[in-house]
Amino acid sequence: MKHGQKITCFWKIFIGLNLLHCVMTSPDARRLLKDLFDDDYSSIVMPKQRHSDVMNVTVRFIPRGITEFNEVAGQISIAMGVDIRWNDEYLLWSPPKYGNLTHLLIPEEQIWTPKLSIANPSDRVPIFPEDQFSVRLFSTGRAMLLKGGTVRCTCKPNLRYYPFDEHVCFVKLITLDHVFTEISFLPELKLDVYENVGEWDLFDSEIESSRFDLFSCAVFKFKIKRRPEFSILTICIPILCLGLLNACVFLIPPECGERISFAITALLSFAVFMTIVSAVMPRNTDPVPILCYVLMLMLLESGLIVAVSITGLRLYYRPDSQKIPDCVQRVVSALTTLDSHPQPLVHNSESPDNHSVFPEQEQHLLRSVKWSHVGRVFDYFCFIVSFCSFTLYVLIYAIIVMVS
């Protein structure tokens, strides 16, 4: 059984147990029902003595859990109960006249009830139209209707900081049968039975009574945030590994012949992850997740690395018969000298040829520079640039998420 079905069954059992102890088979109850629901009572007429009065209806929202939040479709499903209370001025009685009977259970279709609807629905407007519940009626005319099930509402996602995203969703309840001059909603929120299960956590909530066009509206505001552990393990960590491997392309020896295939494999891996991330994103999301920008930059960098790797191999395997520019020779000679840690050149002041030692050694170093050395220096430089750019992407993303 799915989680949403379990929660729905919970509410049905809860409501049934709540109403089970009230027995209506006594003669006093039958006589009271006959007196209350005579020919003068109508379930389609608002139960108030003066038509100009505004009926106050208390709407208590009792969320049980978030069964689903579909970011792509922009809808949220909440398993919930709603406790509706109002005063029926036509259904009053004195308990001593009816065996001290203080309350009755009335089928919903036999008594006037506020017909609640969702102002921001994703599939259906009325709340639980196919289910019938019983109304608890007290001798003071106070009526209580407890309904339960799953509601689906629209919710605009905000995936800027995915997978560390937070969203603000609303459940707006109205009654389409009566305008605000006839019914006024008094919203309440009860979180005693709420459970943080699944991927989403409820960390804040607010209630508000407002107007929706000509209708009174009870607004319930929920702030939810994603549990990022699963997304970190399945998306973020693999992206970090791919970014590191992407930079390590230049550490592969050119002689092995696998550098280009490795670079293309990393490029295709980034393309696959772009497909995975885009599958959980709305097509017209606003704002666009920062992670998508990071992935796009890494994808472009990976494509550039493929082109640069080809250039590096062409430099490495260029014939030594082709002349190397002097400026390139000097740079490569300096870098390879620093890398190999040669013995320092000692200036001997007693030697008569001390003025010609340095130029001769310098010319010897320049003559020993080959295109393979140029290729290795080029690879070393590209590795540093690629690794630094990858680190910069990650740091910028982390700082933006932490600051926000």
Domains of the chain: 3-13+26-227 (2.70.170.10), 230-337+358-403 (no CATH)
Is residue 352 pLDDT above 60, yes or no?
no
Is residue 82 pLDDT above 90, yes or no?
yes
Q: Is 162 exposed, middle or buried (0-12, 13-18, 19+ CB in 10 A)?
A: buried
323 versus 1: the higher-pLDDT residue is 323
User: What residues have CB less than 8 Å from 315, skipping those under 6 apart?
Assistant: 371, 374, 375, 378
Is residue 61 pLDDT above 70, yes or no?
yes
Whether the ω angle into residue 238 lies within 30 degrees of 0, i.e. cis, is no
Confidence of residue 83 (pLDDT cuts 50, 70, 90): very high
In angstroms, rounded to a whole number, what is the distance separating the alpha carbons of residues 256 and 102?
A: 91
Q: Are 158 and 166 in contact (CB under 8 A)?
A: yes
User: What residues have CB less than 8 Å from 237, skipping those under 6 apart?
Assistant: none
Sheet containing strand 142-154, edge to edge, reads 103-107, 134-138, 142-154, 75-87, 55-70, 183-189
Mean pLDDT of 345-353: 44
**pLDDT score at 22:** 43
* End-to-end CA separation in angstroms for the chain: 39
Residue 311, SS3? helix
40 versus 240: the higher-pLDDT residue is 240
Is residue 10 pLDDT above 60, yes or no?
no
Is residue 372 pLDDT above 90, yes or no?
no
Mean pLDDT of 382-388: 91
User: Using one digit for the tens of pLDDT, what is the confidence trace for 264-310?
Assistant: 998 998 888 888 877 777 666 678 888 888 888 888 989 999 999 99
Is residue 390 pLDDT above 60, yes or no?
yes
Instruction: Name which of 113-122, 134-143, 278-287 the model is least confident about.
Output: 278-287
31-63 CB burial, b ≥16 within 10 A, e <16 = ebbeebbeeeeeeeebbbeeeeeebebebbbbb
Share of the chain above pLDDT 70, in %: 85
Residue with tokens 């560390």: 164
Mean pLDDT of 104-112: 89
User: Using one digit for the tens of pLDDT, what is the confidence trace for 313-328?
Assistant: 888 888 877 887 878 7
Q: Which two tokens stand for residue 1?
A: 């059984």
Element at 338 (helix H, strand E): helix 326-340
Tell me the pairing of strands 142-154 and 134-138: antiparallel
**pLDDT score at 357:** 42
Is residue 164 pLDDT above 80, yes or no?
yes
Residue with tokens 């930079």: 247
Is residue 340 pLDDT above 50, yes or no?
no
**pLDDT score at 171:** 93
Instruction: Count the residues in the chain.
Output: 404
Which residue, among 161, 3, 133, has the nearest Cα to 69 in the 3D structure?
3
Quote the longest CA-to-CA distance of the chain.
135
User: What residues have CB less than 8 Å from 105, skipping those under 6 apart?
Assistant: 19, 22, 24, 134, 135, 136, 137
**pLDDT score at 351:** 45
In angstroms, rounded to a whole number, what is the distance separating the alpha carbons of residues 201 and 174?
A: 26
Element at 62 (helix H, strand E): strand 55-70
Confidence of residue 9 (pLDDT cuts 50, 70, 90): low
Measured CA angle at 131 (ends 89, 5), to 5 deg: 135
pTM over 0.75: no
Is residue 348 pLDDT above 70, yes or no?
no
Mean pLDDT, the chain, rounded, equals: 82
**pLDDT score at 255:** 83
Q: Which two tokens stand for residue 206?
A: 């607010």
